[in-house]
A = this chain, B = another copy of it.
Amino acid sequence: MIKLYYAAHTCSLASHIALEDAGAEYFTERVSFETNEQNSPAYLAVNPKGRVPSLVTDRGVLTETPAMLAYIAQTFPHARLAPLDDAFAFAQVQAFNSYICSTLHVAHAHRMRGHRWADDESSFADMQRKVPQSVSACYALIEREMFRGPWVMGDAYTVCDPYLFTLAQWMEDDSVDVSRLPKVLDHRRRMSERPAVRKAIADELA
């Protein structure tokens, strides 16, 4: 059976929701960031990167949210979480998720994880000041150029939707002016009402 290692309030929620969407049989194990459990020997044996999420399958461990989301979509094809028979449309799904991962999430990470890329307190403060601008620019691009509606990819719900929803929960903490993002905001509201989303969040906060 599939096992998802997660931490609350992190991007692991996207894969958690996707597993619910897929109707997968799975269980979860929480990794405590409060006690730095992600860098414990036991967890590093699962994922030497010391990050969440990790997805343990019968074949081995998978990491990296875009890869895991595509894997969930491919492994549970009846759930129709990605256009699996159309390489171009699948690539559009993947391009969106790659942007979330490598640009939006990275911009966000400069608010609290500046130590990954710098050492001085003054640099961390500078990075934190820039986050509203850099994160807002990502959302402006999503709102204007990428989001089709009603779902990210248009009429079909895909694994892009839980990933956008997950990061969009952090907009206010990043001081993004959400009033300028009506599509992203409406999407977040509609996502929050889906039973799969409610169940995944309730599990993580239990």
Contacts and interface: CB of A to CB of B under 8 A. Distances in A.
A94 B66 contact: yes
For A63, A102, A116, the residue with the greatest tally of chain B CB atoms inside 10 Å of its CB is A102
A192 interface: no
A70 interface: yes
Interface in A56-110: 57, 59-60, 62-68, 70-71, 74-75, 87-88, 90-92, 94-95, 97-99, 101-103, 105-107, 110
Contacts of A107: 116-117
A127 B118 contact: yes
A119 interface: yes
Contact of A67 (B94, B116, B117, B134): B94
A129 B120 CA distance: 11
A106 B61 CA distance: 24
A155 to B, nearest CB: 17
For A75, A87, A90, A144, the residue with the greatest tally of chain B CB atoms inside 10 Å of its CB is A87
| A interface majority secondary structure | helix
A126 to B, nearest CB: 4
Interface residues of A, number: 48
25 contacts: A49-B141, A57-B88, A62-B92, A62-B95, A64-B94, A64-B99, A64-B102, A66-B94, A67-B92, A67-B94, A68-B91, A70-B70, A70-B90, A70-B91, A71-B88, A71-B90, A94-B94, A102-B106, A107-B116, A107-B117, A117-B117, A118-B118, A119-B126, A119-B129, A123-B123
Interface of A: 48-49, 57, 59-60, 62-68, 70-71, 74-75, 87-88, 90-92, 94-95, 97-99, 101-103, 105-107, 110, 116-120, 122-123, 126-127, 129-130, 134, 141, 144-145
